[in-house]
Copies of this chain bind each other. A is one copy, B any other.
């Protein structure tokens, strides 16, 4: 995914030591063609895994998850972060601590849409500390579903979420792994970079 890395390099804005803003193409303004390419890539990497459902969290995970579901030909379920009278009362729930929001929230998935015979692929835009992924894993476990792995658009390789999730035996496929980044000139280094 050199195209993705080039977009991160050219449009990403680094703030401080750990915030990377990619809201021009990923999580506020969205480039639909990039999302299509990302979905196709995840579907290719997890082909043969007999996935029955893609699971993500609203809102930034929806775009890459949607195209992944399209190419895998399976439904996409997005966990909800807010209570609503439109959501079923009978839900799987898990707490997630968010550093960007500065607090804990509850993610919820209706029990209608996850079952013990499901084989799940998680999709998310970012993997940093891995809190969201642990929450999704908790929900999959509650449903008794099996987990094929996680497709991540951007992994902050300098934080420990990826390591922690992989040590749990979960296959993680990240399209761009950032090994270091600096606010000066928004300098960003990826895993696999030559220099």
Contact = CB atoms under 8 A, between A and B. Distances in A.
Q: Report how many copies the assembly holds.
A: 2
Given A23-B110, A63-B66, A101 B75 contact: no
A76 B30 contact: yes
Interface stretch (A1-9, A77-85, A139-147): A77-85
Contacts of A59: 58-59, 62, 78, 80
Interface residues of A, number: 41
A105 to B, nearest CB: 9
Interface of A: 19, 21, 23-25, 27-33, 35-36, 58-59, 62-63, 66-67, 69-70, 73, 75-78, 80, 82, 84-88, 100-102, 109-110, 112-113
Given A23-B86, A28-B109, 6 more contacts: A21-B86, A30-B76, A32-B76, A33-B73, A59-B80, A86-B100
